[in-house]
Structure 1
Amino acid sequence: MPQVILAIDQGTTGTTVFVVDGRGRIRGRAYAEIRQFYPKPGWVEHDPEEIYRSVVTLSKKAISAAKVSASAIAGIGITNQRETFVVWERRSGRPVYRAIVWQCRRSADICDALRDREPDVAQHTGLLIDPYFSGTKLKWLLDNKPGLRERGARGELCFGNIDTWLLYKLSRGAEFVTDYTNASRTMMFNLARREWDDEMVAMLDVPREMLPRAVSSRGPLAETAPGTIAPHAIPVAAVIGDQQSALYGQGAVVAGDSKATYGTGAFLLMNTGDKMVPSKNRLLTTAALGPAGEPAYALEGSVFIAGAAVQWLRDGLKLVRNAADTYAEARASVAKNKDRSQPYVVPAFVGLGAPYWDANARGAIMGITRGTTRADIVRATLDSIAYQVRDVIVAMESDTAHPMSELRADGGATANRYLMQFQADILGKPVRRAKIAETTAMGAAMLAGLAVRIWKSPDEMLALVKGADVFKPKMQTADRERLLAGWHDAVSHTLTRPSN
């Protein structure tokens, strides 16, 4: 029986599992949403046990859908939402608190108190001081829940991003590890040395005993315990943070290659090879992968709200029944108002990410008139995703002095042809949409397949991702500049501190 890879993509709003064969075809899939908890404004949590159960249940469903035996699985690749973390008891494996999600802003005050340390943080970790990263929220948890810091120092508790939590649970406690890409998102990891940083760990007052062992993304890293996903053990052959996995899945594995993933947020990465490029424009320097999965570096810009804004239209405002409806609404708005000048939506629901990094910014709709319709609000929300992506690309090009010739795009929102065309128009550059939208999962599948030699070389594997749709810019320069001026004016009204 031909061997296959099980690719697990544990994301912010749901878990997806694919079975991928040696030709890069998705043979079976399963998906389920996971619950979001919002105990206070700006706070976001998940149930860690629900996340684990979803991985096990959906893995079995995907294997069944693929009509293959579990014995055909050569290895597992895991990719995950990166900065979301769990703290659990080492002996029992029980969480001591809900998972605190990357979107959560509860540590904003801690970040403000540490602001003068930002140059040190950037030098050591490549990151900025922001609640986005798990380190300051871990400090919040240890500060606010009596006894946890002391238990952590005694070695009774484990900390980990979702990759570590899943590896621990799937191996039934045999492995307590994280990969470099996930470790690089904690604000406690020395990016140059690829090890936990004593100074950063001390700054956040985190017991070292709580931290997992950091290893390369290409494994094997662990084995699933018999009776979890299958009756027998299966090697976990690769673990990668979701955005680095999408970069790898797009074949962006050498310096200068870049991509944007349109998911709950929008995340742009440019591979910088073996060079750590410091940013002058408040971007992040982070871990990435080379062609064979070897450690490399990237510049990253994070847009916190992208697809989540479409969810807001659907679930919060009830303006559309499903995400696909936004395409027709946006086209109706443009047909009525061809210059697209009003209104502007700034979806700063949990602050603004790169290049603004304002945790206290809040969303706004600017320029409403009596003639504003539902279609206009929907169209402006889609436009806001493209505007935010452009802001990051401009900063990235400035940092690297390397203009992008095109933008590679992946993720669920790329199915919206209006958004992809507007992205090309507002960039003034072609947008190349991935042949396989699920590039995040494919990146983990590809690296796992390389590790267990389903694919013998990076070239053989990268041939799987060739072919894509290309959206070419059609907008006049004057129109682009007018729209951008309106966007930046709208953003300026939401900021609580000056933008750099």
Structure 2
Amino acid sequence: MGQYILVLDQGFLNSSAFLVDSHAKIIARFEVPLKPRFLRSGWIEYNPDDILKSQLNAIKALFRKIGTKKKQIAALGISGQQSTIILWDKETGKPVYNAISYNDPRGMDICRQRTGRREIVRERTGLHLSPYYSASKIKWVLENVKAVQKLADKGRLLLGTVNTYILWHLSKRSVYVMDHASAAKTLLCNIFTKTWDRELLELFNLPHEIFPDIVPTSSYIGDAVIERQVIPIHASITEKQASLLGHGLFQEGDVSINYGDDGLMLANTGKKIFLLPGLLTTIAWSNHESTTYLLEGIINSAGSFLSWMKDNLGLIGPKEDIEKLCKGSLNRLFMLPSLDGLGSPHWDSDSTVCLYGLKKGSKREDIVRAAVEAIAFMVKDNVNVIQTDGRLQLKKIIGSGAVSDISFLMQFQADILKMPVRKVKENHYTALGTAFLAGLSTNIWQGFSSIGKLTSSSSARVFNPRLSEQEAAKLYERWRLTFYHSREWSRNFP
């Protein structure tokens, strides 16, 4: 039996293929760029054929690179964009409309028409009623694309995420599934039963018959046929959840914070399902025996706000080091960088950017520092929800993403959380996490304990808290006052 795993990663801007060995080493990889189409009013689409071709081209290029090693591939795993949706004709295999991206807001009106049922959506899916999940996108296609409803009536309409679409084609149309993690981000899957929820399907007036089977993220799904080679499919998962696995955050209480254009906090809750105010709840990964769940927090402005300060305000020079600017600050200011409103746990789309504490001696270094520290404060807001509830004890925090390269931010995050923060280097963690799921399913690895030493956290740089508890609490209290005054301003002067 071979000991290599073929990993496919279908992302927003590229499709990649990786060969991973039994020591969790990436032996080879190949990436093919993918161009989304940016349309009116923030709509974002892809040509589904481009998605499929880019993924197939990545596989072909990888196979040329690895030569005879391809014969030793034991399993295939795939990770992909959550909530990006494709509908296609079962008989022809052709898409009936473009793929609608996860961050496409066109389903807003469809969601608004159902706001009276938002509590049942929350209780069964762990999510907010939002156009950024799949349900409203599917409904939009059925309502606006001619002949789609006729295909559904004839039993010819299929739908799914990019994972579903790619696996259906790679398996010669024999595998029609959606994994637990992907299904959980549709607004149509009950995370308690892990099945399509008939009441939620009725809420969006969607026929149950067109939906794929729901399967564990780590299990034998079927066989892919690639260049006449049969490869068992053993994993399918969303990118964010795969990255959590790749960082080695397997245990209850482990937390990942990704600092990119926006921020994302994922907290492993083990087998327990927590529905906490302001946070999202979803499925992390699963097999036939058990399911692991997550709490999710979203920070709307992180790297994107720093880019805005650079490009629109000129506060950061083209090649200027943000780290040096922060260290050059002598006066502390407080900022709420809600350029795109506030994400969790407040969910306030009307909040505006506010800066407090400006004096005659204030400089741009102070403003940049305030923006960087605000990212840490917003993460603290999310962590506070968990700590206030008290049932989940946080054990390990890992920071990743481009903005985490700012050491000043990582140190302040540790200070304000009063917990060590481990900063890891970027190393294709999504691919590694997907490989772990496939390898566990095929017994290349025997349980999570056997892959713990292969993950990133063992080589992380650790930032330990330096501020006293009293000083950290005082700073957070002052920032919360900034937050309060900003929201009052937004409410009184919309």
- Give the structure-2-normalised TM-score: 0.85
SS in 2 for 1:41: helix
Structure index of larger Rg? 2
Q: Out of 264, 280, 299, which is 1:267 matched to?
A: 264
Does residue 1:284 correspond to 2:280, yes or no? yes
Matches within 5 A, 1:348-497: 348=340, 352-358=342-348, 360-361=349-350, 364=353, 382-383=372-373, 385-434=375-424, 437-465=427-455, 466-467=457-458, 468-475=460-467, 476-477=471-472, 478-487=474-483, 489-490=485-486
Matched residue, 2:28: 28
CA drift of 1:70 comes to 1.6
Q: Which string of whole-angstrom CA distances, capped at 9 and with x for unpartnered residues, describes residues 335-356 of structure 1?
A: 44333526653241xx543223
Matched residue, 1:297: 293
After superposition, the Cα gap between the structure-2 partners of 1:304 and 1:343, relative to the gap in structure 1 and judged at 3 Å, is closer
Matched residue, 1:87: 87
SS in 2 for 1:60: helix
After superposition, the Cα gap between the structure-2 partners of 1:58 and 1:202, relative to the gap in structure 1 and judged at 3 Å, is same
Matched residue, 2:240: 243
Does residue 1:233 correspond to 2:230, yes or no? yes
CA drift of 1:399 comes to 3.8
Contact 2:126 2:282 survives alignment (8 Å): yes
Matched residue, 1:252: 249
Q: Which string of whole-angstrom CA distances, capped at 9 and with x for unpartnered residues, describes residues 95-148 of structure 1?
A: 222222222222222222211212211222222211221112222222233442
Matched residue, 2:162: 162
Matched residue, 2:10: 10
Contact 1:184 1:287 survives alignment (8 Å): yes
CA drift of 1:203 comes to 0.4
CA drift of 1:380 comes to 5.9
Q: Which residue identity does 2:156 align to in structure 1?
A: E
Structure 1 stretch displaced more, 399-408 or 91-100? 399-408
After superposition, the Cα gap between the structure-2 partners of 1:165 and 1:264, relative to the gap in structure 1 and judged at 3 Å, is farther
Structure 1 stretch displaced more, 449-458 or 197-206? 449-458
Distance of 2:50 and 2:311 partners within structure 1: 22
Q: Which runs of 5+ in 1 are unaligned?
A: none
Distance of 1:233 and 1:318 partners within structure 2: 55
Q: Which string of whole-angstrom CA distances, capped at 9 and with x for unpartnered residues, describes residues 436-479 of structure 1?
A: 64322211111111222222333212221151221223454234
CA drift of 1:89 comes to 1.8
After superposition, the Cα gap between the structure-2 partners of 1:308 and 1:145, relative to the gap in structure 1 and judged at 3 Å, is farther
User: RMSD of aligned C-alpha atoms?
Assistant: 3.5
Contact 1:421 1:471 survives alignment (8 Å): yes
CA drift of 1:188 comes to 0.7
After superposition, the Cα gap between the structure-2 partners of 1:307 and 1:454, relative to the gap in structure 1 and judged at 3 Å, is farther
Distance of 2:48 and 2:486 partners within structure 1: 37
Contact 2:283 2:292 survives alignment (8 Å): yes
SS in 1 for 2:443: coil
Contact 2:32 2:57 survives alignment (8 Å): no
Structure 1 stretch displaced more, 440-449 or 89-98? 89-98
Q: Which residue identity does 2:254 align to in structure 1?
A: D
CA drift of 1:492 comes to 6.3
After superposition, the Cα gap between the structure-2 partners of 1:197 and 1:9, relative to the gap in structure 1 and judged at 3 Å, is same
Matched residue, 2:137: 137
Structure 1 stretch displaced more, 205-214 or 486-495? 486-495
Q: Which runs of 5+ in 2 are unaligned?
A: none
CA drift of 1:291 comes to 9.1
Contact 2:216 2:286 survives alignment (8 Å): no
SS in 2 for 1:205: coil
Contact 1:31 1:58 survives alignment (8 Å): yes
Structure 1 stretch displaced more, 39-48 or 134-143? 39-48
SS in 1 for 2:225: coil
CA drift of 1:305 comes to 5.1
Structure 1 stretch displaced more, 31-40 or 97-106? 31-40
Identity %: 31
After superposition, the Cα gap between the structure-2 partners of 1:311 and 1:136, relative to the gap in structure 1 and judged at 3 Å, is farther
SS in 2 for 1:346: coil
CA drift of 1:186 comes to 0.6
